[in-house]
Amino acid sequence: MKKTVKVLILLVLIGIFLFSGGKLLYYYLTARENIQKSNALVEEFVVIHPISSEHATMELPEHADETEKYEHDLPSSHGSVDPSVTEQEQEPDSEPESKPAEDSVPIVVNFDLLQERYPDCVGWLYSPATPINYPIMQSKDNDYYLRRSYDGSYNRCGSLFLDFRCTSDLSDSLSLIYGHNMKNDTMLGTLERYTDQAYYEAHREMYLLTRDADYVLRPFAGCVVPDNSGYYRIPLETPVEDYATAAQFDSAFQAELPADLDRIVVLSTCSYDFEEARFLLFCSMTQIENAPVP
Residue 240 placed within a domain: yes
Residue 280 maps to which CATH number? 2.40.260.10
Count of other CB atoms within 10 angstroms of residue 97: 16
CA distance 141 to 138: 8
Question: Residue 242: which domain range?
Answer: 47-64+96-288
Name which residue leads in pLDDT, 184 or 60: 184
Residue 20 placed within a domain: no
Q: Is residue 152 a contact partner of residue 138, using CB atoms and an 8 Å limit?
A: no
Q: What is the mean pLDDT of residues 221-245?
A: 95
Q: What is the mean pLDDT of residues 154-163?
A: 95
Residue 70 placed within a domain: no
Quick check: 286 pLDDT over 90?
yes
Residue 121 placed within a domain: yes
- The phi and psi torsions of 39 (rounded to 5 degrees) equal -60, -40
pLDDT at 183: 87
Quick check: 31 pLDDT over 50?
yes
- Tens-place pLDDT, residues 97-152: 334 445 678 999 999 999 999 999 999 999 999 999 999 999 999 999 999 999 99
Residue 89 placed within a domain: no
- Tens-place pLDDT, residues 45-90: 888 765 444 445 454 444 344 433 333 332 333 333 333 333 333 3
Count of other CB atoms within 10 angstroms of residue 111: 19
pLDDT at 294: 46
Residue 53 placed within a domain: yes
Q: What is the 3-state secondary structure (H, E, C) of the chain?
A: CHHHHHHHHHHHHHHHHHHHHHHHHHHHHHHHHHHHHHHHHHHHHEEECHHHHHHCCCCCCCCCCCCCCCCCCCCCCCCCCCCCCCCCCCCCCCCCCCCCCCCCCCEEECHHHHHHHCCCEEEEEECCCCCCEEEEECCCCCCHHHCECCCCCECCCCCEEECCCCCCCCCCCEEEEECCECCCCCECCCHHHHHCHHHHHHCCCEEEECCCCEEEEEEEEEEEEECCCHHHCCCCCCCHHHHHHHHHHHCCCCCCCCCCCCCEEEEEEEECCCCCEEEEEEEEEEEECCCCCC
Could you tell me the pLDDT band of residue 180, with boundaries at 50, 70 and 90? Answer: very high
Residue 83 placed within a domain: no
Name which residue leads in pLDDT, 19 or 264: 264
Residue among 287, 260, 283, 262 nearest 205 (CA): 283
Give the total number of structural domains in the chain: 1
Residue 4 placed within a domain: no
CA distance 108 to 111: 9
CA distances from 40 to 62, 121, 243 (A): 11, 16, 38
pTM: 0.74
